[in-house]
Amino acid sequence: MRLKKLLSALLIGFIAFVPVIANAEESATIRFILAADMPELTSEDGRGGYAKLASVVKTFKKQTKRNIRSLLIHAGDAYSPSLLSGLDKGKSTVDMLNAVGVDYMVLGNHEWDFGPEITRERVWQSNFTVLASNVIDNEGLPVDGTVRTAMEMVGPFRVGIMGLVTPYVKDVSSPETDQFLSVMDTAKKLAKELKGQGADLIVAIGHLDFVEDMEILQSGLIDVLLSGQDHYHIFFDNGKDVWMDAGEDAEKVGVLDVHMKSYIKRGKKRFSWETDMRYVDTKHIKEDTAIASKVKSYEDLLGKELDVEIGKTDSELDSRKKTVRTEEAAIGNLIIDAMREGVKAEIGLTNGGGIRAKKIYDPGTKIIRRDILSELPFGNVVVKLQLTGLQIWEALENGVSQVEQNSGRFPQVSGMSFTYNPKAKAGSRIKSVKVGNSPLSKGRTYTIATNDFLAKGGDGYTVFKQGKVIIDASGAKLMASMVMDYIKSKGTVSPKIEGRIVAQ
């Protein structure tokens, strides 16, 4: 009888224990809807734009099954460069980010285009979490309004999030005293912190170039990398970590589902995860009505101010990226001639990467304000420096040092011409330079017109910081306004390729 009672008790205990094992097996899904690099509000050729992004977000956030958490992620570059941002310094873009319901954003290089004060204004206007984990101010503190890390609860799981910004911001934008810490060192430190806080899954939102992305992946420090900057559509899954890159302008919106699971194995609780990834082509996605109306209101406002004719061109102007970043461009000549004349300098140099509309103007095209602000959206001003011939030579070496990469530092010049060998070692490519019809004298000084971004050492033009400042940024005129005034004064312009830049 006692044996029967004992067996009965053991059987009851076993039956009671079985559900405990079953309950230990839990699952949940976190869904990341990914976009990046979209300063323009509207769609282009039927794809992208905020109204279409909003429709995609609504569709994928509607799927609110139990234990699914959906987040809209923006991987940086929103405030600039665009036609509208040239006027309002990114305020309208933050309005759109708020409207479509962004949950997390990492700052990109273009978030500093209007200087660190505007960066902070826009961060505080954001109704979502902004990350810049490896960025500090001159007092060693995070950028005001940003957070270093965040933690999301998804069912029983904890998802730790960090935001990593490429240190190249200091070369391509205007962060001034903001400093950029090592991406790898920051990722290592924060991954440890998040694990210490109980994170099951580590996510990095990155505004990083391709090489930096690969270094993060190969390190094994993070599980999921959601990235912008390169404008590629990439998804990569090696069974250990996952990488998705957002492309640009929400033309194809990334959707990444991470299915998380806990289970008991050999008496211990384990955690595993797997992913589903896809891109949603917005070509045939209907625009969200409310967001489309908001976009139209901004477009109407712009139209009143910008659809005003200022002149016409008798020659073809080509502002496509490959043209302005690799060779002498007629539109580059037009822009830098206007700058040089505007400040009465002997020579002029501007970076091809600052010319942004990527279009061709046929001969006879009427030019309106919108065209010029589309080409020059950064709000730069024209400054005047005094440099030695040797410093100018050094600047030109920098300008052609990455021509094979279509780098934005490629120079468009006025009042001077040069020849170079693109196959020579970087730093030793310039063969000859003339100012007017005379060889450049390395020992004498020249006045040069440039933009304030380059004058501060942007795009690698650190030599410009050594020059004597004749007209500084505080007393300078808006670059776009100077070009518009130049065209308006002439009525008709006809810039041509003149042999200012010759590759040999």
Which H or E run contains 258? strand 252-265
Res. 455: pLDDT tops 70:
yes
Tell how far CA 391 is from the center of its chain.
30
- In angstroms, the Cα distances linking 425 to 175, 177, 400, 401, 429 are 30, 32, 10, 8, 6
Residues 224 and 320 in one domain: no
Q: Cα–Cα distance between 211 and 188 in angstroms, integer?
A: 17
Task: Answer yes or no: do 271 and 345 share one domain.
Answer: no
Answer whether residue 367 is part of any domain.
yes
Given a cut of 60, is residue 67 above it in pLDDT? yes
Regarding whether 267 and 400 lie in a shared domain, the answer is no
Query: Is the distance from CB of 397 to CB of 449 less than 8 angstroms?
Result: no
Mean pLDDT of 396-419: 98
Same domain for 58 and 135? yes
pLDDT at 473: 87
> Which pLDDT does position 4 carry in this prediction?
44
pLDDT of residue 8: 44
Shared domain check, 328 and 287: no
235, 269, 296 - which closes a domain: 296
Total number of domains in the chain: 2
> Residue 65 has what pLDDT?
64
Nearest to 255 by CA among 273, 235, 228: 235
**Residue-wise pLDDT tens digits, 296-330:** 999 998 888 888 999 999 999 999 999 999 999 99
The residue among 256 and 45 whose pLDDT is bigger is 256
Alpha helices per DSSP H over 140-240: 169-172, 183-196, 210-219
C-alpha 292/C-alpha 308 separation (Å) is 24
Domain that holds residue 420: 309-503
- Asked whether residue 54 falls in the same domain as residue 122, the answer is yes
Residue 11: pLDDT band by 50, 70, 90 thresholds?
very low
CA pair distance 56, 387, nearest whole angstrom = 52
Are 68 and 111 members of one domain? Answer: yes
Task: Clarify whether residues 195 and 232 are in a common domain.
Answer: yes
Look at residue 125 in the predicted model and tell me its pLDDT: 98
Asked if the structure places residue 17 within a domain, the reply is no
1 is a domain residue: no
pLDDT of residue 305: 82
| Helix (H/G/I), strand (E/B), else coil: 51 | helix
Of 58, 102, 54, the closest CA to residue 78 belongs to 102
pLDDT at residue 22 is higher than 80: no
Which is more confidently placed, 285 or 15?
285
Those residues whose C-beta lies under 8 Å from the C-beta of residue 284, and which sit 6 or more positions away, are none
Residue 354 to residue 81: CA distance in whole angstroms: 9
Q: Which of 262, 296, 330 is the last residue of a domain?
A: 296
Average of pLDDT values for 337-353? 97
pLDDT by residue (tens digit) across 229-252? 989 999 999 889 999 999 999 999
102-121, pLDDT tens digit by residue?
Answer: 999 999 999 999 999 999 99
CATH number, domain of 207, equals 3.60.21.10
Is the residue at 254 inside a domain? yes
Are residue 377 and residue 425 in the same domain, yes or no?
yes
How high is the pLDDT of residue 17? 38
Boundary (domain end) residue, out of 249, 272, 296: 296
Write out the E strands in 376-458: 381-388, 411-414, 416-420, 430-435, 438-439, 445-451
- Confidence check: pLDDT of 179 > 80: yes
Residue 469 pLDDT greater than 80, yes or no: yes
Q: What share of the chain is helix, strand, coil (3-state, %, to 5)?
A: 35, 30, 35
Q: What is the CATH number of the domain that holds 361?
A: 3.90.780.10
Q: Residue 2 has what pLDDT?
A: 44
Structural domain includes residue 304: no
209 Ramachandran zone, left/alpha/beta (phi>0; psi -120 to 50): beta
pLDDT of the residue at 82: 85
Same domain, 270 and 322: no
Question: C-alpha angle with apex 47: 83 to 84, nearest 5 degrees?
Answer: 10
Q: Are residues 359 and 482 in the same domain?
A: yes
Question: How much is the pLDDT for 63?
Answer: 67
Q: Based on the domain organization, do 177 and 72 belong to the same domain?
A: yes
